[in-house]
């Protein structure tokens, strides 16, 4: 009986010891799991923190990318605008250069025409001196050869409109110069110092009539004027390029120059 009791006690103590050991092990395991859980929570917290940081960085990067895209789009737009402006400026420069070139051609045409007239004026001056003699009053002004005469070289009285026979040879020489230079015209200026410009114009017309009827000078080549001579009376016979023909010549030369 006593042995049996002892056996029960042994079994009981053994069971208690085993139970206590298992409980201790369970507590240790729980403690281990708690530590692991805390560690896992810490890792999760850190991961979430890193995730938030990453998301913030991602948003920042997206914002920077958007700003860069907008800046790039603006830059491309500005470059396109600059290219358009540059092209327009180039077109304007080309147009300006073309216009300047055309103006230079026109100026060259006019200068060539003026040079040609100057050359003709020199020829006419030489011809006039040879024809009228060294004693004739001959000058050059603005491309015109001017032969100056007194009133009594053609008219016997101040108010007369009938040309003297002694004045015909001078008119014949003027006609010879005009015939030798068919591109030239003649302006007859009647000069008055008394203000009688109508009379001066009538006397100039009388000289023109002689040139036309006796020496076959075309009327369209002659211009007559009555002019205030200040303190001088007489006539200026101006041999010059025909202005209408000169204008047409320049205009046609310009047209030909523009075609080239």
Q: Model confidence over 238-255: pLDDT tens digits?
A: 999 886 655 666 666 656
What's the pLDDT band for 53 if we cut at 50, 70, 90?
confident
Please report whether residue 225 resides in a domain.
Answer: yes
Give the model confidence (pLDDT) of 95-137 as tens digits.
Answer: 887 777 777 776 776 666 666 666 777 888 888 888 888 778 9
Please report whether residue 102 resides in a domain.
Answer: no
pLDDT of residue 152: 94
Beta-sheet pairing, 234-241 with 184-192? antiparallel
CB 209 within 8 A of CB 202: no
Please report whether residue 232 resides in a domain.
Answer: yes
Please report whether residue 83 resides in a domain.
Answer: no
Please report whether residue 158 resides in a domain.
Answer: yes
From CA 238, how far away is CA 143, in angstroms rounded?
10
Please report whether residue 24 resides in a domain.
Answer: no
Report in angstroms the alpha-carbon separations of 79 from 16, 69, 75, 82.
91, 15, 6, 5
Average pLDDT, the chain: 82
Question: At 245, which CATH number?
Answer: 3.30.1330.60
Please report whether residue 99 resides in a domain.
Answer: no
Report the number of distinct structural domains present in the chain: 1
pTM, full prediction: 0.55
For residue 162, what are the domain limits? 121-252
pLDDT of residue 109: 63
Give the model confidence (pLDDT) of 175-205 as tens digits.
Answer: 999 999 998 999 999 999 999 999 999 999 9
Give the model confidence (pLDDT) of 131-170 as tens digits.
Answer: 888 778 998 888 899 999 999 999 999 999 999 999 999 9
């Amino acid at each position: 009986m006593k042995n049996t009791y002892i056996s029960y006690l042994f079994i009981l103590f053994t069971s208690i010891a085993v139970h206590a050991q298992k409980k201790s092990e369970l507590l240790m395991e729980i403690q281990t799991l708690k530590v692991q859980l805390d560690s896992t929570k810490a890792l999760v917290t850190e991961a979430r923190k890193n995730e938030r940081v990453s998301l913030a960085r991602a948003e920042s990067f997206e914002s920077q990318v958007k700003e860069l895209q907008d800046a790039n789009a603006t830059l491309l737009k500005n470059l396109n605008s600059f290219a358009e402006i540059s092209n327009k400026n180039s077109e304007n420069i080309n147009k300006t250069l073309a216009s300047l070139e055309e103006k230079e051609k026109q100026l060259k045409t006019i200068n060539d025409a003026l040079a040609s007239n100057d050359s003709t004026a020199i020829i006419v001056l030489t011809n006039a001196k040879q024809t009228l003699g060294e004693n004739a009053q001959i000058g050059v002004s603005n491309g015109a050869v001017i032969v100056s005469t007194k009133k009594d070289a053609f008219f016997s009285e101040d108010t007369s409109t009938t040309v003297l026979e002694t004045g015909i040879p001078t008119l014949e020489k003027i006609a010879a110069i005009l015939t030798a230079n068919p591109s030239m015209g003649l302006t007859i200026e009647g000069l008055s110092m008394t203000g009688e410009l109508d009379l001066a114009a009538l006397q100039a017309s009388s000289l023109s009539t002689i040139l036309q009827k006796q020496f076959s000078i075309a009327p369209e080549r002659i211009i007559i004027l009555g002019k205030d001579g200040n303190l001088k009376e007489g006539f200026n016979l101006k041999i010059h390029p025909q202005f209408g023909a000169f204008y047409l010549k320049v205009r046609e030369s310009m047209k030909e120059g523009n075609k080239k």
